[in-house]
Amino acid sequence: MNLTLNVWRQKGPSDKGGFKTYKLSDISEHMSFLEMIDVLNEQLLRGGEEPVHFDHDCREGICGSCSMYINGRAHGPQQLTATCQLHMRSFKDGDTITVEPWRAKAFPVVKDLVVDRSAFDRIIQAGGYVSVNTGGVPDANEIPVPKKIADEAFNAATCISCGACVAACKNASAMLFVSAKVSQLALLPQGKVERKTRVEKMAAQMDLEGFGACSNTGACTAECPKGISQDNIARMNREYFGAKFTSDNV
């Protein structure tokens, strides 16, 4: 495959940045998108140019670090697919592919395609945890959890914190991410102790980080590589208003 790449290049947070065009040839359709970027970087290094900086780790759709906006869509044209799981057979010979970083105030560009997603970490630190009593490991069946509840908690827990929901949302809202983390813990008996304070603190930190409001357009779920449901947003709203009416922080 022969491709034309328009890649966002930005030297640092204070740099204006802009697109730069590169030509690639003999790209295998069996390559992943990140492997194609690796080929580009090898070509740039051979030519004495600085490689394109991008985040990656597991390359198995687990870590959520491969955040790229590809042809106007978070993680590219395939649904339920992270960038590392996207293969070049999704494109055609001669295609022009535009690659850029997430665009959100709360995700400032560090360099090229790398953005600072530590805002997510601070939201988790604000309340995304449960009380842990030290001692012996409890029996797995000591606290019975109905299968329906366990399945819903597991589905919420599949969120990989990639930020595609923020990138896809016209308001750069983080509601899908935060609601998944709130739901994951609020549904389980182990998460009941901090249930009220958790949602209040995480929602407050979300606003503090500069994420926008949710307007229920559904773009977040449509682009989420794990298909996190908007039902979690409804659950988070119920948790939040319930906490506001009954918690000690009123």
- CATH number for 11: 3.10.20.30
Specify the number of domains making up the chain: 2
Q: What pLDDT, on the 0 to 100 scale, is given for residue 11?
A: 96
Same domain, 24 and 53: yes
Which of 111, 128, 162 is at the close of a domain? 111
Q: 169: closest CA among 121, 230, 136, 218? A: 218
Kindly report the CATH number assigned to the domain that includes residue 125: 1.10.1060.10
Q: Is residue 250 part of a domain?
A: no
Q: Where are the beta strands (DSSP E) in the chain?
A: 3-9, 18-24, 69-70, 73-74, 96-100, 109-111, 114-115
- Distances in Å between the Cα of 157 and the Cα atoms of 128, 153, 165, 178 are 12, 6, 15, 11
105 and 160, same domain (yes or no): no
pTM for the model stands at 0.92
Q: Is the same domain home to 106 and 16?
A: yes
Q: What is the pLDDT of residues 192-247, one digit of tens each?
A: 889 999 999 999 999 999 999 999 999 999 999 999 999 999 999 999 999 999 86
Is the separation of the CB atoms in 19 and 98 below 8 Å? yes
Tell me the per-residue pLDDT of 55-68, one tens digit each, with 9 for 90 and over: 999 999 999 999 99
In this structure, are residues 94 and 62 in contact, taking their beta carbons and an 8 Å threshold?
Answer: no
Identify the domain containing residue 230 by its residue range: 117-245
149 and 197 in a common domain: yes
20 falls in which pLDDT band (50, 70, 90)? very high
One-letter amino acid at 180 equals A
Checking if the pLDDT of 113 tops 80, the result is: yes
Q: Do 130 and 239 reside in the same domain of the chain?
A: yes
CA distance 101 to 92: 22
